[in-house]
Amino acid sequence: MNRRKQTRIAIVRDSFIFLMLAGVAVITVSQFDKVREFFSRASGEKANIIINTTAIIGPMPRPWRNLAQGGEAFDWRLKPLAAQVKALKPEYVRLDHIYDFYNIVGGSSGNLTFDFAKLDVILDDIAATGAKPYIALSYMPPAISSGDIVAPPQNWADWQLTVQKTVEHISGKRGVSDVYYEVWNEPDLFGKWHYGGERNYITMYNSSARGAANARFVKPFKIGGPSTTALYKNWFDAMAKNAIENNVRWDFFSWHRYNLKIDEYRSDMVDIRQWLTAYPQLEPTLELHITEWGHDSDLHPGYDTSFGAAHTVAGSIEMAGVVERAFVFEIQDGKDPAGQAAWGRWGMFQHQDFGSTAKPRYHALKLLDKIGEQRLQLLGKGSWVKALASKDSDETVRVILSNFDMNSRNSELVPVTFTNITPGNYSIRQEFLGGKQQTTKVATTAATLQTFVQMGINSVALVELRRE
C-alpha cells in the first residue's frame, strides 16, 4: 500500500473516530441531567428507622400549627371552615392585604379616620378556630399612598399612625394578647423594596416600630419582619444592624421558603443560626419564622394530590425543633378563572364553589398532629423517608413517616425498630393517608421490637406502638 493511500485511510479513520466521539459528546451533554439524576437516585439512602423509647428529648415542637391565607378575595371568610381548621389546632392564622382589603384607613393625609369593622369579621373567624391573628401589615392604604398599594406613603407619619391604631385595636380594644405584627409581605417582590435606596424597607420598618411603640393600653405583642420571598443574608444583616445601631425593636426575623428539596428547610436554619453568631445581642431572643412555605411558589398540580401532602409532612418533620413557626400556605383556594375545582392552587381546601373540599394536604396535617406529647430520639432517616417519634404519658409510642420524592418514583419497605421496650404484649397500628389502617398483635421477651411499613410513592403513615 503506498503512503498516499495509507494517509487517506488514516484521514478517513481519524475522521470517523472524531465524528463518533463528537456524537458521544453530544449524547453525553444532552443526557447529562438524566444521568446525574440516575446516579443521584441510585446513591440515595433508604430509611432504617430506629427509635429509643426511653430517650425523651423534650416536648414535641409543632411548627406546623400555623396557617396562612393569601389575598384571594376581598370577601373571603374562614367561618365556613372553622370547625375543620380548628381540628388542626392552629396557634396562629396569618393574614396579609389587611389595608387594601378591609377599608381600614379613610380620610386624607394628616386627617385620617380608622374603621376596623370589616377586619373584625375575619378576626372573629380566626378566634372561632382557637387561633390568634398574625398580622402582615400590608399593603399601603390607598388613602395615604403616594401611588398604588405597594408604593411608599405620602407621609411616613401617616403610616406610623396607621400601625399605631392597628395595634391599639387588635391588641388593645379587642384585648388579644401575643399578636404578631409583621411589617409588609414580600417587600422584595411587592413594591421592589430594598434595605437601602429610595424605597428603603428599613425606613418602613422603623416607622412601623415607632407606631407600635406609641400604642397605648395594649396587651403584649411582637413586631418583626421582613417576610422576604426567600432567605437572604444581606437582608438579615441589614435588619440586625438596624436593630442594634438604632435601638429598634425587632422580635422576629421572617422569610418565605418554597422549595421541592426538603433538606433546604433545615439548611436554612443552619445558615441563619450561623449568621446570628455575629450578633450576640440578638441571638438569645430573636424568633425565627417561615411565614409562608410550600413546594412551589407558582401553581403546581401537586397541591391537589398526595405529592403536596407528603412534602408538607416531610418539611414539617425537618423543621421541628429548628424553627419556631412555619406557616403552611394557604388555607383555601381562590377561584379559578377557568372554572376548575382543582387548578394547582396552594389551598388545603378547594374554593367554596366546589364545596370547600379538603385536599390531601389537610388530611396529612391532621395525621401529623396525632404525634404525641414528648419527642423521642430517632435515627435512620433516609433520602426520601423522613420520620418523627413521640411518647405519651400512657407510654404509647407514635411515629410519623413521610416518603416524599420530587420525581414521584421512590417507594420502600421501611424497617421501624423500637428499642428499650419492656417485654410483653403489644399492638402495632399503622394508619395511612387516605384512611387505610391495619393492626398487628405481637408478643416479645426481648427489649427490641421491629415492624415494617410499606411506604408507597409520596405517602404518609402513622405507626403506633401500644402495650396491651
For 6-25, the pLDDT digits (tens) are: 433 343 344 444 434 444 33
What is the reported pTM?
0.90
pLDDT score, position 19 = 38
In angstroms, the CA 23 to CA 222 distance is 62
Burial 8-40 (b: 16+ CB within 10 A, else e): eeeeeeeeeeeeeeeeeeeeeeeeeeeeeeeee
Among 32-46, 121-135, 197-211, 319-333, the least confident range: 32-46
Instruction: Say if residue 462's pLDDT is above 60.
Output: yes
Q: How far apart are CA 361 and CA 258, in angstroms?
A: 15
pLDDT at 354 over 60: yes
Residue showing cell 388579644 = 176
Which pLDDT score is estimated for 42? 52
The CA distance from 364 to 352, in Å, is 21
Q: Indicate the burial class of 177 (C-beta count within 10 angstroms; 0-12, 13-18, 19 or more).
A: exposed
Quote the percentage of the chain above a pLDDT of 70: 91
Q: How far apart are CA 51 and CA 454, in angstroms?
A: 18
Among 252, 333, 251, 265, smallest CA distance to 293 is for 265
Same fold, 44-59+373-467 and 66-368: no
Query: What does the alpha-carbon distance between residue 287 and residue 158 come to, in Å, rounded to a whole number?
Result: 28
What local confidence, expressed as pLDDT, does residue 40 receive? 43
Summarize the confidence of residues 48-63 as an average pLDDT.
Answer: 98
- Write down the pLDDT at residue 352: 97
pLDDT of 38 > 70? The answer is no
pLDDT (0 to 100) of residue 12: 37
Element (H, E) at 88: none
Report the pLDDT averaged over residues 149-172: 98
**What residues does each domain of the chain span?**
44-59+373-467, 66-368
Per-residue confidence at 36, pLDDT binned at 50, 70, 90?
very low
Q: Specify the pLDDT at position 187.
A: 98
Share the mean pLDDT of the chain. Answer: 92
- In this prediction, residues 72-94 reach a mean pLDDT of 97
Question: Domain 44-59+373-467 is of which CATH architecture?
Answer: Sandwich (2.60)
What would the mean pLDDT of 317-324 be, rounded to a whole number?
A: 95
Q: Is the pLDDT of residue 369 over 80?
A: yes
User: With 50 as the cut, is the pLDDT of residue 235 above it?
Assistant: yes
Kindly state the average pLDDT of the residues 315-326: 96
User: For residue 152, which phi and psi values (nearest 5 degrees)?
Assistant: -65, 160
Average pLDDT over every residue of 421-449? 97
Average pLDDT over residues 62-91: 97
Return the DSSP state at 155: -
Task: Please give the CATH topology (third level) of the domain spanning 66-368.
Answer: TIM Barrel (3.20.20)
Distance of CA 349 to the CA centre of its chain: 17
